[in-house]
Amino acid sequence: MRAEIVTSEGWRAWRDLRLEALADTPIGYGELYADAVLLSDAEWEQRVNNPPRPGMRVMAYDGDEAVGMAGGFVNEDGLPILFGVYVRPAARGGEVLRLLVDEVAAWAAPEPLRLDVHVDNHRAYRAYLKLGFALTGETTPEGGIDGRDLLRMRR
């Protein structure tokens, strides 16, 4: 198992895994599959090569197969946020999530890593607790894709 930073050449693999993530867990992300699938190749490439906020993207591989992804960005307060986390169902429960989160945490250091998880995304919430994240008591003002709360966590 290995993690690799997504480079400009890796945008197709990142796109494919992102679309899978949006279909698998619609409440887990800030966009809908129906919108994302309509983006052109140039728009997907732009997302990887010129993201709107400073940050990074990383993918986990088992051999040549992409099995997970995550990213980090710096929010308007200058704080690092973990985002876009997805692990393929067959790879869940192992070390893939830890590998991805540790890569983003190393990028964010020395700041603690934060994330927002949908109030109804119980699977992700439990997984983040196992990795040492805890609720901060805050919710995000914009809410999830369906308007429900996003819970802020910190490690």
Q: What is the pLDDT of residues 96-148, one digit of tens each?
A: 999 999 999 999 999 999 999 988 899 999 999 999 999 998 887 666 677 77
State yes or no: pLDDT of 51 exceeds 80. Answer: no
- Strands, DSSP E only, in the chain? 2-5, 55-62, 65-74, 80-87, 114-118, 134-139, 150-154
Per-residue confidence (pLDDT) for residue 48, from 0 to 100:
86
Q: Is the pLDDT of residue 153 over 90?
A: yes
CATH number at residue 90: 3.40.630.30
Q: Higher model confidence: residue 48 or residue 107? A: 107
* Per-residue buried b or exposed e for 24-48, using 16+ beta carbons within 10 Å of the residue's own CB: eebebbeeebeebeebeeeebbebb
Model pLDDT for residues 74-95, shown as the tens digit of each residue? 988 889 999 999 999 999 988 9
> Domain range for residue 80?
2-154
pLDDT at 67: 97
Number of structural domains the chain divides into = 1
